[in-house]
Amino acid sequence: MNSYKIAAIPGDGIGKEVIAAGVEVLQALAARYGGFKLDFESFDWGSDYYRKHGVMMPENGRETLKSFDAIYFGAVGAPDVPDHVTLWGLRLAICQPFDQYANVRPTRILPGIEGPLRNVAAKDLDWVIVRENSEGEYAGQGGRSHRGLPEEVATEVSIFTRAGVTRIMRFAFEVARSRPRKLLTVVTKSNAQRHGMVMWDEIAAEVAADYPDVTWDKMLVDAMTMRMTLKPQSLDTIVATNLHADILSDLAAALAGSLGIAPTANLNPERRFPSMFEPIHGSAFDITGKGIANPVGTFWTATMMLEHLGEKPAAERLMRAIERVTADPLLHTPDLGGSATTRQVTDAVIGAIHGDN
């Protein structure tokens, strides 16, 4: 029997609620089908930990995580701790040193869910966004001088390396090749950003030569928002920089019905380090503690984790169970216009797992 060690890091706000639900669902899945076993260990890192210890995670935190097969992450962010502290202190403190350079964000309109776009059916919107996750605009380069003075200056420098761009392009072309349409859109802004983005375009063309079976095109990021909204059918796999894909994937999540549904994987494709799986939403303090957080993004995320672990049939079963539940409007949480609770949705997915054969 395959056995996997999973580090659960619920983090802050609704992260705690949805990860608890996700662990329950995964345990139910493992129990129902056998064949594999999941050993969860939970870590209380995040803003509560920060208030007690002045850091978001202990100094040896990453060392501890290295022995795990995967990380199941909730969200970070608290009203009384600056967002750059929570993000850099925990989420990016894991992503960056673990070289999780490929951030993968599938987007689909799940059964029973109505997207905000008129005339766009489920079959019209089926994308995978590949986000460069290690450099670009979020490389962390820059600084501030003359703080508080009128001449204060701040720089935020984007970093694009040939190695970094090449590996994400290869990864994106591989994803595109693995999907039926074999279609890739490379997002860029090489009209205005004439150094990094021009190199990005050149490398895309170089890598494309190795993938003659993949059809690809290029879009400026601003025009891309219109194409996603007006012609979603024309897109399949999408690759973009750290910042551009961050923004586009929130748009994608909204177009597919709700931020509460969208999953993501932060992958170290070479598997030198554990990869991290998380819903794309944040800690949502506006609904924390109300028991109404949509856990579907966290469940879908779990299917990506199972696939990464090599448990594809289990991943497919879990996806079937999720889709059976989203198909029922009575099981929609308030973000989807319903009145179901996290508890009810979780129980329903567990029920669907038991009912599936």
- Angle, helices 342-355 vs 312-326, to 10°: value is 120
Span from 119-127, 277-285, 299-307, 314-322 in contact with ligand NAI (CB under 6 A) = 277-285
Q: Is 283 in the site for ligand NAI (CB under 6 A)?
A: yes
Q: Is 260 in the site for ligand NAI (CB under 6 A)?
A: yes
Q: Is 268 in the site for ligand NAI (CB under 6 A)?
A: no
Cβ neighbours, 10 Å, residue 156 = 13
How many residues bind Mg ion (CB under 5 A)? The answer is: 1
Strand (E) or helix (H) holding 75: strand 70-75
Binder of ligand NAI out of 22, 232, 282, 338 (CB under 6 A): 282
Residue with Cβ nearer ligand NAI (107 or 185): 107
**Structure-token pair, residue 70:** 């995967």
| Binder of residue 246, out of Mg ion, ligand NAI, none (CB less than 5 to 8 A by kind) | Mg ion
Residue 5 Cβ vs ligand NAI, minimum distance, rounded to whole Å:
22
| Binder of residue 69, out of Mg ion, ligand NAI, none (CB less than 5 to 8 A by kind) | none
**Structure-token pair, residue 72:** 């199941």
Residue with Cβ nearer Mg ion (252 or 331): 252
Q: Give the type of residue at 78.
A: A
**Contacts with 151 (C-beta within 8 Å, 6 or more apart), sequence order:** none
CA angle 13, 17, 20 (to 5 degrees): 135
- 43-82 b/e (C-beta count within 10 Å ≥ 16 → b): bebbbebbeeeeebbeeebeeebeebbbbbbbbbbbeebe
Q: Is 46 in the site for ligand NAI (CB under 6 A)?
A: no
Instruction: Give the separation between CA 120 and CA 118, rounded to whole angstroms.
Output: 6
Binder of ligand NAI out of 75, 102, 224, 306 (CB under 6 A): 75
Instruction: Give the separation between CA 308 and CA 230, rounded to whole angstroms.
Output: 33
The conformation of residue 234, written as its DSSP 8-state character, comes to: G
Binder of ligand NAI out of 259, 304, 322, 353 (CB under 6 A): 259
| Binder of residue 77, out of Mg ion, ligand NAI, none (CB less than 5 to 8 A by kind) | ligand NAI
**Contacts with 341 (C-beta within 8 Å, 6 or more apart), sequence order:** 291, 292, 333
Residue 275 Cβ vs Mg ion, minimum distance, rounded to whole Å:
18
Residue 290 Cβ vs ligand NAI, minimum distance, rounded to whole Å:
9
Give the residue numbers marked as catalytic.
138, 189, 222, 246, 250
Residues 284-313 that bind ligand NAI (CB under 6 A): 284, 286-287, 293-294, 297
Q: Per-residue contact track with Mg ion, 232 to 251, x per CB under 5 A?
A: --------------x-----
Nearest to 103 by CA among 157, 168, 30: 168
Q: Enumerate helices (H) and strands (E) in the chain, giving the number of each.
A: 12, 12
Q: Is 92 in the site for ligand NAI (CB under 6 A)?
A: no
Residue with Cβ nearer Mg ion (301 or 346): 301
Q: Is 22 in the site for ligand NAI (CB under 6 A)?
A: no
**Structure-token pair, residue 321:** 């169970």
Q: Is 76 in the site for ligand NAI (CB under 6 A)?
A: yes
Residues 152-171 that bind Mg ion (CB under 5 A): none
The conformation of residue 92, written as its DSSP 8-state character, comes to: H
Residue with Cβ nearer ligand NAI (165 or 259): 259
Residue with Cβ nearer ligand NAI (151 or 286): 286
CA angle 11, 14, 17 (to 5 degrees): 90
Binder of ligand NAI out of 281, 308, 317, 324 (CB under 6 A): 281
Which chain residues interact with ligand NAI by CB under 6 A? Answer: 14, 18, 75-77, 83, 91, 259-260, 278, 281-284, 286-287, 293-294, 297, 333, 335
